[in-house]
Amino acid sequence: MNNLSEKLQKYISENTVIVCVGTDKCIGDCLGPLVGTLLTEKGFNFPVYGTLEKPIHALNMDERLSEIYSKHPDALIIGVDACLGSEENIGEIRVRDYAISPGKGVGKELPEIGVASVIGIVDSGDNSEFFFSRSIRLSFIMNKAKEIVEILTKAAKEENSMRNFYREEIEENVCS
């Protein structure tokens, strides 16, 4: 998990925005909104969009992204989403140096989101029902969401510590 937090640090700045994608109407696809809700409840230091109460999904994505881009024109967006993968990769969390492509696994063409992404592989692409599989347990999704929150929180804390360290060092040099 430390490696994933370290990989995210280069995308954490005062302009960071977290965009969590998915819907609470489907267990497999609620990973993003769960992460958004947990981050918001925790008082995360950066703006977070996409929660259980106000999800970002295929039906409202264009409108919500327009709102986010207008409020945060210079944002470094980190996208968070559930993902399909191979059977042996289910349960993995990955940090990627590129945007998320929501809906791609189920054949939808939606806008890409972010400069980086955190994805949780929650089901197999071999499953014809995709995220609607009855075999996906809410406890599994909740545990993955908590892991992603920990990764994001650790990355933000580390980056903030580094920023404060350099700020103090600069102030010492200027005052000396």
The whole-number pLDDT of residue 175 equals 53
175-to-40, 143, 161, 168, 171 alpha-carbon distances in Å: 38, 48, 21, 10, 6
Distance CA 162, CA 24 (A): 36
Q: What is the pTM of this model?
A: 0.86
Domains in the chain: boundaries:
2-127+135-175
Residue 20, phi then psi, degrees to nearest 5: -105, 125
Rounded distance between C-alpha atoms, residue 144 and residue 19, angstroms: 17
- CATH of region 2-127+135-175: 3.40.50.1450
Q: What are the average pLDDT values for consecutive 10-residue runs of the chain, which has 176 residues?
A: 87 94 92 98 96 95 96 96 92 95 77 94 71 76 97 86 49 49
**Would you state the pLDDT for residue 100?**
92
Q: What is the pLDDT of residue 125?
A: 74
